[in-house]
Structure 1
Amino acid sequence: MNALFEDFDEIAEIAEALDDPSPGARIMAVMELADSADPAAIAHLARAIADEDAGVRKQAAQALTDFDGPETAAALVSALKDSDDAVIAAAALSLTELKDPAAGDAILPHLGDSDTVKLKACLAGIKELRRGEAMGPAINALQHADAGVRVEAVGVIGWLQDEGSLPALRDAAKDAETQVRRTALAALGFSKSEHAEATLIGALDDPEWLVREAGAETLAKAGGARCVPALRAALADDFWQVRVKAVRSLGKLNATETAIEIAPMMDIPVPNLRKECAAVLGEMAVVETIPYLEKYADDPDPDVRKNVRWALGRMATK
């Protein structure tokens, strides 16, 4: 509790100002209640969520970010039906800051809500709480017409990391919307199954580079030796962002046989790509790549120089 409020019953005293006729005074009261960091303030902030002034309601929704638990979650969920978009946005953001799994008790009943904004916010809010009861509603939400809802639903499923959800995630990886596919591929990172790996490899042929990038990146977590040929092919992708992820994944998989293919990519005029190539070549420590690294020991980019010199130093000890 804030030291400024230790010596007297400050919460009740501050809360009295929530009845002040001035919205400005009520906003100040909300801010002071938040500053107190006292759980006793939650009930008063919940009352402020229903204030007649939208500015007070928004401030209360923002203030609840500093608290947790079922009571906080219930107040924020109630704010999702506010008439003011700014209040709704503030409540939705505060919901994502909840960390106490018990807070999910107030969110779970709303995971089938017909209101798109409310449903999306509740899915986002329960994601990191990892409540198993959210799996069924999240899978159902993958059929929602709104892509934003589908993205949040994939997030819930991914955080639960249940092998039983693989069919749903693989279906989501074929969604019409780029962001849904991308999120689904990232969510597959927890699985080591051949089905997850096959989906990720298939994503390397997606028409959208953002999806190919996600597939290449996640293969470092969910892939094995079988994915190396596909990642090697991705080294020639039209987008350097995809090539960076392919290089990184090949490094994490310790696919040293690809070092001689990665080394010539040091000549590509993209500092981020050269930096990643140098780091991975250092990790692989294949001496045949030394000439490519030496060529860039004085690269104009400081991060590239740092990685090149580290890689050369590592190989010198081999």
Structure 2
Amino acid sequence: MNNLDTNHIIEDMINTLNDRTWRTRRQASDKLIKIGKPAILPLMTAIRQHAFTTFTLPEAVRALGGIGDVQAVDLLIEELENQNVQVVQEAIKGLGLIGSPQAIQPLINVFRRNWDDIETITARQEAESALAAIGQPAFPSLLAMLTDEDDNVREGGASALAELYDPQAIDPLINALQDKKHLVRAHAADALAKLGNKRAIKPLIVLLADDSWYVRTRAIFALGQLGGSSVFASLTNTLEDQDPRIRSAAVSVLGQLQDTRIHDVLLKVLSDPDGNVRSDAVLAFARSGDTRALSALSWIQQNDPGYSGVNRIKDTATYAIQCIQERHLKN
């Protein structure tokens, strides 16, 4: 294919980006990405000349960013200021793909914006991924985000740091467990779980007494990833929590620890007043394959009147019994 043919195709595809049908626009965007560098300047010109509507601009920005060339960085950064959150999302993805350090601060500024749309959350999540994709050049800025005055910036910094696996982030993230904003504390707990350093265990145990049920839940899952049997007692204590969501999380995590003490703990949980918690205990027995649980599960199968969501706990017990029996036969 000669340059003239390529230029004609590029022109046609750019025009097609204004088609009324999303699928047609997406196909044109994909084709421009496949063409690559020759399409960059024509796309940039079209975008700068406002050749697209608010409705069709996202696919044009997607094509520009998807080519992944540094020439697009300045324009993609400009589009981060767009009032259309979908345009911003596509610009963020493109900047993450290109990975230019020039985009670090503009991406951080995304967390300060609110489009009064549920897609604002998605834009922030995309910004977290883009900053993580830039990698080590973004690390100092991500650490600084943890002490920013904006709650959303701190939250995004904690999440992005989890993807870099840099041990220098451990102490700042431990400090973030005391943040005034509950979502920052929760994301810091998740990040510490991913980083996998045992120094986070004690601060996470303290977090089990947090005022926020969501933070307590994230701490439970983080400790399950980090501590194994060493956190068994602390997690068992959370089964006394007044919130059934906490007890449910604890049962799920304890059931995965492969600790010999779990049998007696789960037997007690089978009498929990909350159906979801009892159901989680039944499923934990199903995963364990412990034949000692068959008698208790048979009682549940015949007598438990409760539900977990739309599922009868009796039926869950039947499933657990089948799992245990099948595993026993295989062994």
Question: Which residue in 2 is equivalent to 1:136?
Answer: 140
> Which amino acid letter does the alignment assign opposite residue 47 of structure 1?
T
* C-alpha displacement of 1:184: 0.7
In the superposition, the TM-score normalised over structure 1's length comes to: 0.78
CA distance in 2 between counterparts of 1:93 and 1:307 reads 45
Question: Which residue in 2 is equivalent to 1:47?
Answer: 45
Residue deviations 1:182-214 (CA, integer Å, cap 9, x gap) = 111011113443421112211111111111110
Q: 2:57 matched to 1:57?
A: yes
The answer to whether the Cα contact below 8 Å between 2:185 and 2:215 also exists between their aligned partners in 1 is yes
> Which amino acid letter does the alignment assign opposite residue 322 of structure 2?
R
Q: 2:89 matched to 1:92?
A: yes
CA spacing shift, 1:114–1:68, aligned 2, 3 Å:
closer
Secondary structure of the corresponding residue to residue 175 of structure 1: coil
Q: 2:252 matched to 1:257?
A: no
Question: Which residue in 2 is equivalent to 1:3?
Answer: none
In the superposition, the TM-score normalised over structure 2's length comes to: 0.76
What CA RMSD, in Å, does the superposition of the two structures yield over aligned residues? 3.8
CA spacing shift, 1:23–1:113, aligned 2, 3 Å:
closer
Q: 2:330 matched to 1:311?
A: no
Q: How many residues align?
A: 308
* C-alpha displacement of 1:248: 2.4
* C-alpha displacement of 1:73: 5.2
Secondary structure of the corresponding residue to residue 162 of structure 2: helix
CA spacing shift, 1:79–1:304, aligned 2, 3 Å:
farther
> Which amino acid letter does the alignment assign opposite residue 251 of structure 1?
G
Equivalent of residue 108 in structure 1, options 87, 104, 110: 104
* C-alpha displacement of 1:7: 10
Moved more, 32-41 or 149-158: 32-41
CA spacing shift, 1:273–1:78, aligned 2, 3 Å:
same
Question: Which residue in 1 is equivalent to 2:162?
Answer: 158
The answer to whether the Cα contact below 8 Å between 1:58 and 1:90 also exists between their aligned partners in 2 is yes
Residue deviations 1:244-302 (CA, integer Å, cap 9, x gap) = 22122222222221321212323446554344322322444444433222223467355
The answer to whether the Cα contact below 8 Å between 2:232 and 2:254 also exists between their aligned partners in 1 is yes
Residue deviations 1:71-127 (CA, integer Å, cap 9, x gap) = 555543220123xx11x4432355247764x52444236466598339968842424
Which blocks of at least 5 consecutive residues in structure 2 are unaligned?
115-122, 305-311
Q: 2:78 matched to 1:78?
A: yes
Question: Which residue in 1 is equivalent to 2:233?
Answer: 229
CA distance in 2 between counterparts of 1:317 and 1:30 reads 54
> Which amino acid letter does the alignment assign opposite residue 81 of structure 1?
E
The answer to whether the Cα contact below 8 Å between 2:101 and 2:134 also exists between their aligned partners in 1 is no
CA spacing shift, 1:125–1:317, aligned 2, 3 Å:
closer
